[in-house]
């Protein structure tokens, strides 16, 4: 299949990808990986950049999923992996709207997995923590000080996502520490979670 370069923040480009995904037997597995991070605090950020982030992190995921799903359901097989984030589990004062886009991706994936139950189509949200990629340099211009044991490799995240989807897992959180944090984020009362998140951000 030919490559199809597209800027997913542009509606017309996204529509070309949707059209490709609607063609018969286009794909067995859609991976919604494209994502943009937030630069700094919401109040200081450029509104156009915020809108671009929403277009790529949310609207494109929704549109491409909508395009591919009927074909997958019709064939009774295949899957969708949505690359979400640990950020979607935890409220944060920095990058507030990024966290919100990822919370959307996770809940969308979980909810959609219920919609497609019994069709043979598997939906997985993969929720990585800190992963060594260009991502952090693009939003900060400087190296991020993250303890080594918390750094994931992109290959580890990709393998966990693929294995999770093959096994029909709706949520995949790579790495033991992050799995514990994800569980804690669901058990700890929200006010306490906000305090802990602010402490970690201010360290
Ligand atoms: N790195 C982390 O710590 C981390 C943690 C949790 C979740 N994530 C998520 O993981 C996913 C992949 O990010 P990454 O860490 O690999 O960061 P990255 O190195 O910055 O890669 C981002 C990817 O998104 C694509 N992209 C960005 N804007 C786009 C647009 N307007 N149209 C089409 N594609 C666009 C980029 O394409 P080009 O290369 O062509 O620009 C690139 O493939 C994202 O959804 C991110 O939110 C990352």
**Is 108 a domain residue?**
yes
Q: Whole-angstrom Cα distance, residue 109 to residue 121? A: 12
Higher pLDDT, 36 or 141: 36
Separation of 189 CA from ligand 1 center, angstroms? 31
**Does the pLDDT at position 42 exceed 60?**
yes
Separation of 118 CA from ligand 1 center, angstroms? 31
**Is 2 a domain residue?**
no
pLDDT at 191: 96
Separation of 135 CA from ligand 1 center, angstroms? 6
**Is 3 a domain residue?**
no
**Is 176 a domain residue?**
yes
**Is 6 a domain residue?**
no
Q: Which of 144, 202, 146, 151 is nearest to 178 (CA)?
A: 151
Report the half-sphere exposure of 24 (CA within 13 A, side-chain side): 0
Is the distance from the beta carbon of residue 101 to the nearest atom of ligand 1 less than 6 Å? no
pLDDT at 138: 64
**Does the pLDDT at position 203 exceed 70?**
no
Q: Return the best residue to mutate from 58, 133, 151 for the ligand 1 pocket (most ligand atoms within 8 A of CB).
A: 133
pLDDT at 143: 60
**Is 102 a domain residue?**
yes
Residue 29 — pLDDT band, cuts 50, 70, 90?
A: very high
**Is 111 a domain residue?**
yes
Residue 1 — pLDDT band, cuts 50, 70, 90?
A: low
Catalytic residue among 98, 130, 137, 178: 98
Ligand 1 nearest atom to the CA of residue 152, by list position: 3
Q: How many residues does the chain have?
A: 203
Nearest CA to ligand 1 atom 38: 34
**For 94-106, what is the mean pLDDT?**
95
Which helix H or strand E contains 171, and what residues bound it?
Answer: strand 171-172
pTM summary value: 0.95
Domain count, the chain: 1
**Does the pLDDT at position 136 exceed 80?**
no
Q: Are 82 and 35 in contact (CB under 8 A)?
A: no
DSSP string of 27-58?
-SEEEE-------S-GGGS-HHHHHHHHIIII
**Is 31 a domain residue?**
yes
Q: Are 160 and 172 in contact (CB under 8 A)?
A: yes
Residue range(s) defining the domain that contains residue 144: 11-201
- Judge whether 98 counts as a catalytic residue: yes
The CATH number of residue 190's host domain is 3.40.50.720
């Amino acid at each position: 299949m030919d490559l199809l370069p597209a800027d997913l923040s542009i509606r017309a480009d996204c529509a070309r990808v949707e059209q490709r995904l609607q063609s018969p037997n286009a794909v067995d597995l859609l991976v919604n990986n494209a994502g943009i991070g937030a630069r700094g605090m919401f109040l200081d950020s450029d509104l156009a950049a915020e809108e671009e982030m929403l277009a790529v992190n949310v609207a494109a995921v929704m549109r491409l999923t909508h395009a591919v799903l009927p074909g997958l359901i019709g064939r009774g097989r295949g899957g969708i992996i949505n690359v979400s984030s640990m950020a979607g589990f935890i409220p944060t004062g920095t990058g507030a709207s990024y966290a919100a886009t990822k919370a959307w991706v996770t809940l969308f994936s979980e909810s959609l997995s219920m919609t497609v139950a019994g069709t043979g189509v598997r939906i997985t949200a993969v929720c990585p923590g800190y992963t060594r990629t260009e991502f952090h340099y693009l939003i900060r211009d400087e190296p991020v000080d993250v303890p080594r044991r918390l750094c994931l490799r992109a290959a580890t995240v990709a393998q966990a996502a693929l294995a999770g989807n093959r096994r029909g897992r709706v949520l995949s959180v790579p790495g033991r520490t992050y799995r514990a944090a994800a569980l804690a984020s669901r058990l700890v009362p929200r006010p306490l979670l906000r305090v802990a998140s602010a402490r970690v951000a201010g360290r």
